[in-house]
Amino acid sequence: MGAWVLHVDLDQFVAAVEVLRRPELAGLPVVVGGHGDPTERGVVSTASYEARELGVGSGMPLRIAARKAPDAVFLPVDKPAYEAASADVLAVLQTWPGGVVQVLGWDEAFVGLDADDPEAAARGIQAAVLETTRLHCSVGIGDTLIRAKVATGFAKPRGVFRLTEANWMSVMGERPTKELWGVGSRIAARLETLGVHTVAELAAAPEDVLVAEFGPKLGPWYGTLGRGEGDRDVDDTPWVARARSRETTFQEDLDEPAAVEAALRDLTAAVLGDVAEEGRPVIGLTLKVRYAPFDTKTHARKIAETADPDEVLAAVLGLAADRLDPDRAVRLLGLRADLKMPEDAREPRTPGRGGW
């Protein structure tokens, strides 16, 4: 028997849920985002494979998506429906014999298993998920969480792929660093300034060079990513949210300070409603602003631990007064409230930064 990490990732999850509810959409380009109206401001939450082939991707403004896929079906986000479907999938994974499940989000989870044939186990999980929920998934198999997560990219759609120490470099070595879990385009660009372009170069990069660029936690972590190493044990300790956040895209730019303040008050009230459900005090704030036409900035501040809504609101307004430009029109506002963590909370597996 061997210890394996399986990364189970539902294929085009949100779009797939919508197609289950509307079978006539099968095979069509489907885009889910905002209120489902591409003439409004908003971004793509997910797109079906057919829409992706036309150049539509998550995070893309809906108006651009409509230009790339003018015949696509646009649908509004229906969070309760996706949460219900996600719970059904999780129930299948949690009843898998011998499995230890670590939830990553709506549409993905790690499953730790002891198995002689991990591919057979992966196919069994795929079949069980499909039978119970009518949803397809891809499964990456690895000897670490990182390798399993990366392997899923090669498994999509509806497939199984194995990445281990034995084939990590032959598969990943010459690929660009941005194909690694946790390395986006900005980090990849910073790595390029160090002469690091590929996964193999990142794996071989001197730790002191990475520390000098990214700090004592993230520097070594990026080296670990390059080697595909890291944790091998799946942790089923319930996840406790580090923060609660919300953001609002305005259909018309806010160009008056009074309108911005009113929007901040509404946003803070919404976030505080979420915070109240957690029952823990706020210890930090991050304010996100997108100025017209599309210039995004974030501003963070630690605050004295408090559960008083009035104190949090005062801190938000103070941060805005100090950091927002009153002469620029505002397209979007977002607020993240960092929460005090319980002593027994699961530590994050990566030292990545919080916020947006």
Ranges assigned E (strand) in the chain: 2-10, 30-32, 46-47, 73-75, 100-105, 108-115, 137-142, 160-163, 243-254, 282-291, 295-306, 330-339
Q: Are 57 and 68 in contact (CB under 8 A)?
A: no
pLDDT exceeds cutoff 80 at 234: yes
The percentage of residues in the chain with a pLDDT greater than 70, rounded to a whole number, is: 96
Residue 311 to residue 305: CA distance in whole angstroms: 10
Segment holding 153, helix H or strand E: helix 145-155
Burial code (b: 16+ CB inside 10 Å, e: under 16) for 202-230 equals bbebeeeebbebbeeebbebbbbbbbbbb
Residue 181 to residue 149: CA distance in whole angstroms: 7
Residue 304 to residue 283: CA distance in whole angstroms: 6
* AA letter at 164: T
pLDDT 10s digits, 116-149: 999 999 999 999 999 999 999 999 999 999 999 9
pLDDT confidence of residue 106: 87
Strands 2-10, 46-47: pairing kind: unpaired
Q: Does the active-site annotation cover 347?
A: no
Residue 14 to residue 279: CA distance in whole angstroms: 30
Note the pTM of the prediction, 2 decimals. 0.82
Residue 153 to residue 16: CA distance in whole angstroms: 18
CB atoms near residue 144 (< 10 Å): 21
CA-to-CA separations, 42 to 64, 99, 151, 197, 270, in angstroms, rounded: 10, 39, 31, 33, 19
Averaged pLDDT, 342-346: 71
First to last CA, the chain: 41
Strands 30-32, 73-75: pairing kind: parallel
CA 251 to chain centre: 25
Candidate list 24, 108, 207, 213, residue with the active-site label = 108
pLDDT 10s digits, 184-232: 899 999 999 999 999 999 999 999 999 999 999 999 999 999 999 999 9
